[in-house]
A = this chain, B = another copy of it.
Amino acid sequence: MELLGFEKVSLDGGFWKKRYEINKNATLPAVYERFDESGRIGAFRCLYKEGDENPPHYYWDSDVAKWMEAAAYTLKKEPSPELEEKIDDIVAQIEKNASEDGYFNSYFLTVEPTKRFTDRHKHELYCAGHLMEAAVAYNEATGKDVFLKAMEKYADLIEKVFVKEQSAAFVTPGHEEIELALVKMYKATGKKKYLDLSKFFIDKRGCSEKEKATNGEDIQSSVPVRKQKEAVGHAVRATYLYSAMADLALLTDDKELKEVCFDLFYDIANKKIFVTGGIGSNSRGEAFAPAYYLPNINAYSETCAAIGLVFFAERMQRLKTDSKFADLVERVICNGGLSGVSLDGESFFYENPLAIEPRLGKLNNMHRPIAQRVKIFSCSCCPPNVARFFASIGNLAYGEENGVIYIRQFFDSTLKTEINGEQITLTQRTDFPLSGAIKLEADRDCRIAVRIPGWTSEYQSEKSGDGYMYLDLKKDSPIELDLKPEFYFVNSDPRVTENLGKAALMRGPVVYCLEGIDNGGDLDGVLVDTASPVKTSSLTVSLPAAVCEGERVLPGKDLYERLDQKKTKKAKLTFIPYHAFANRGETAMRVWVDTVR
């Protein structure tokens, strides 16, 4: 199916409109301010001299580029001279400071001017890729082409160095990103050479001893991509690479590459994803771990990796019409993707743990995530990724195939698109995920396909094999649906050792969690009675909280006691949406809760 871009979609109200507004009004300016304070914006002036304080880092350009991309998406929806000026200022610095041959990197131009393209692990092509994405977005938003032209020149240089001359010290990037950016460059310019360059980086990856030598598996470079069947290594790099592979597979109708994409996708979706949609559970290398290793306190589950997974899943929908891809996207955006940003939009998690136990410090040679969001990280990739993601979230809602409009996500929104050469306006009215009521209306007759999510028990008989329900929507004759999201408990595959005997509460796609703050301070000995009814609470944290019955195991006299001496007391348990955890101070948290037996 063809995915319909956010430029065709306006968010009109409800849950996601609110998130979009917070992103525009709080996240976007907050990220800019932090990047300005920290020297990231200023670094584009390329004035750093050896011995100066605060040298640019080799990933700074990418942070700012993602912010520019986010700002460009916002501009596309609503003009803002102030925002445009900020971007133009940065673009002017790129123009002014780029080398004669088009090269631009604020770190290599100032800190290591003689080391251009010598170190695979210094994110040079990664930064270039993000600048290209930003340039494409800004061109589409404003029609201005200075930035895009500069990036074309840069891409041409990269092609010369890596393909024609092969004069770089490495063959493919240490951090993938430029592959998918070059596909965007191709689409924006129509120049096939950019698609070919993307294909070059994908096809050469893992194909030589040089490629395999340095941290091969950590960066998906130990075997050629067409031989990769399992998701390994750094999860953000992986999903960016896989996204580009899916793009390429579609654009070049490459069946072999498609198969690889499916294998990798299902390896993640069936064995390596948290219930929250987070991925990458190995803090060493921010990487995929062996199948079923999905720890709670040390989940890692980087915000950027969740976003990267959405990029990959979105592209997979182009390869195959199957509601499972959008189901997974929904899992991420309602949970482990959304948890990366505070409810006020100004603070961020890099990692999204599934449990917090404040009484444990930094222990056992174990990495422990922070328990409260912060305004910036030294490696601050996640905040601008959040910003560009929510600025373009309208991308996720709709698709089109053979004249059928696919309703992929339930956003209160208006779609304006063209079907078979005719304009059509379709409105979706919903306060989902608060309720499951959806009202669809169009200004002319059309065929639509509504995703019937995996979590609902409604519309099962009307659901087609691809998970969509196909309907005729008549002009001015709205269709009303109700997906009835109810509370239910899930369990994990038994190979997820840590979760054996535990359950997680969900409502529709929304994962819930316990926080100490709502449950008497700590979560010691908490058991949930999964047979008792779950009720909606009067407390609202992002969405209404849930209350159900449970127990507390009470401490005995000794550390270890006979099981038949165990004492418990009844307890009411209050769950809040996982995406809203850690918004009310540091407190214990659990997604997976042991159950009453």
CA separation between A563 and B594, bound complex, in Å? Answer: 12
The interface-forming segment of A381-389, A412-420, A428-436, A522-530 is A522-530
Q: Which single residue of chain B is at the shortest CB-CB distance from A553?
A: B494
Q: Does A5 contact B (CB under 8 A)?
A: no
Nearest CB on B from A570, distance (A): 15
> Is there a chain B Cβ closer than 8 Å to A101's Cβ?
no
CA distance A594 to B597 in the complex (A): 11
A561 contacts partner chain B, Cβ-Cβ < 8 Å: yes
Chain B residues closer than 8 Å to A197, beta-carbon distance: none
Given contacts A361-B290, A594-B501, A595-B597, contact A555 B494 (CB under 8 A): yes
Name A331's closest neighbour in chain B (CB-CB): B560
**CB neighbors of B among A522-564 (8 A):** 524-525, 527, 530, 552-556, 558-564
Contacts of A468-515 to chain B: CB distance below 8 A? 488-497, 500-504
Nearest-neighbour CB distance to chain B for A329, whole angstroms, equals 16
Q: What residues of B have a CB within 8 angstroms of the CB of A49 in the complex?
A: none
Residue of A492, A497, A530 with highest tally of chain B CB at under 10 A: A497
Nearest CB in chain B to that of A294: its residue: B559
Contacts of A493 in B (CB 8 A): 555-556, 558-560
Nearest B residue to A271 via CB reads B559
Is A293 in the interface zone, CB < 8 Å from B? yes
Q: How far is the CA of A225 from the CA of B596 in the complex (A)?
A: 44
Asked if B491 and A563 sit within 8 Å, CB to CB, the answer is yes
| Closest chain B residue, CB of each to CB of A555 | B493
* A293→B559 contact, CB < 8 A: no
CA distance A507 to B515 in the complex (A): 38
A461: CB under 8 A from chain B?
Answer: no
Instruction: Determine whether A357 belongs to the interface, using a CB cutoff of 8 Å to chain B.
Output: yes
Q: Does A295 contact B (CB under 8 A)?
A: yes
Q: Does A378 sit within 8 A of B, measured CB to CB?
A: no
Q: How many residues of chain A get a CB closer than 8 Å to chain B's CBs?
A: 61
Q: Please, which residue of chain B has its CB at the minimum distance from the CB of A597?
A: B597
Q: What residue of chain B has the Cβ atom nearest to residue A499's Cβ?
A: B560
Contact B552 A525 (CB under 8 A): no
User: Chain B interface: which of A168-176, A281-289, A314-322?
Assistant: A281-289
Quick one: which of B360, B366, B501, B559 contacts A273, CB cutoff 8 A? B559
- Give chain B residues whose Cβ lies under 8 Å from the Cβ of A594: 500-501
30 A-B pairs in the complex with CB atoms less than 8 angstroms apart:
A269-B559, A271-B559, A282-B364, A284-B365, A289-B364, A290-B360, A290-B361, A293-B363, A295-B364, A298-B364, A298-B366, A300-B364, A365-B365, A365-B366, A489-B564, A490-B561, A491-B553, A491-B561, A491-B566, A492-B560, A493-B559, A493-B560, A494-B552, A494-B555, A495-B525, A500-B553, A501-B594, A501-B597, A595-B597, A597-B597
List residues of chain A with CB under 8 Å of any chain B CB: 269-271, 273, 275, 281-284, 289-290, 292-293, 295, 298, 300, 357, 359-361, 363-367, 488-497, 500-504, 524-525, 527, 530, 552-556, 558-564, 566, 594-597
Known: A366-B367, A493-B556, A493-B558. 17 other contacts (CB 8 A): A269-B559, A270-B558, A282-B364, A284-B363, A290-B359, A290-B360, A365-B367, A366-B366, A488-B562, A489-B563, A490-B560, A491-B560, A491-B562, A494-B525, A496-B559, A501-B594, A596-B597
